[in-house]
Structure 1
Amino acid sequence: MNRNPLIPFALIAILGIGAMFLFSFVGLDNADEMAHGGEETEEAGEATTPEELYAANCLSCHGDQLQGGFGPALANIGSKYDAETIQGIITNGQGSMPAIAIDAEKAQALATWLSEKK
């Protein structure tokens, strides 16, 4: 009896494609965990301290030391604006700065922290 030599290769290819789909779906379920090195991650916007809020929302434009960059320096922002004005800028945006989508309590905490920078 003459066997077709392509059958084993076809079965291996089908099993390989099936395994690829299986691992892809398992990876989708664990994407956040794998992206952060296996650590439990907080949902986006779940920063709790003003420093964490700044790092998550402001650091890319205003710099890691409040020195400015794309956005203006914030190192002495408290001598220019009070906490209420800063909170308004955070929630509504100003100039090229977009509004930051955080709740009012977190915006107030961040504004108070920034207003102390004099």
Structure 2
Amino acid sequence: MKKKLLTLLLGTSLVMGLAACGGDKDNTKDKGNGGTETASAGQKIYDQKCSGCHGGDLKGGMGPDLSKVGSTLSKDEILDTIKNGKGQMPQNVVQGDDAEKVADWLSNKK
């Protein structure tokens, strides 16, 4: 009985240890599938600052749908909207380098 309990405890510890080490959550690395550090950083900033109005899936909410914004607006036009606002969107919700990263990331949404 003690051997079975010891085996169960060791097995559980091994599974928990592997689970804690697995699952690379760092989205800033290039995974070889077209993802780049800037794109991942842009997505993270979007999730923090923009998703409340534009939705976590880019489909809109209070703000418009951005899922295909890159097909109608260039990176510079998106950056201009971020900096100057438009409609009900206030200006400078995201600023500086962060705004560049978000604009770059959104410009690839086509």
Q: TM-score, normalised by structure 2?
A: 0.60
Tell which has more relative contact order, 1 or 2 (C-alpha 8 A, sep 6+): 2
Contact 2:75 2:107 in 1 (8 A): yes
- Residue aligning to 1:3: none
- Residue aligning to 2:75: 83
Aligned-residue RMSD, C-alpha:
1.4
Q: TM-score, normalised by structure 1?
A: 0.56
In percent, how many aligned pairs have the same letter?
A: 38
Contact 1:78 1:117 in 2 (8 A): yes
Larger radius of gyration: 1
- Residue aligning to 1:30: none
Q: Would you identify which runs of 4 or more consecutive aligned residues in structure 1 move more than 3 Å?
A: none
- 1-structure distance, mates of 2:101, 2:62: 23
Contact 2:49 2:94 in 1 (8 A): no
Number of aligned residues: 71
- 1-structure distance, mates of 2:53, 2:93: 16
- 1-structure distance, mates of 2:73, 2:53: 19
Gaps of 5+ in 1: 1-47
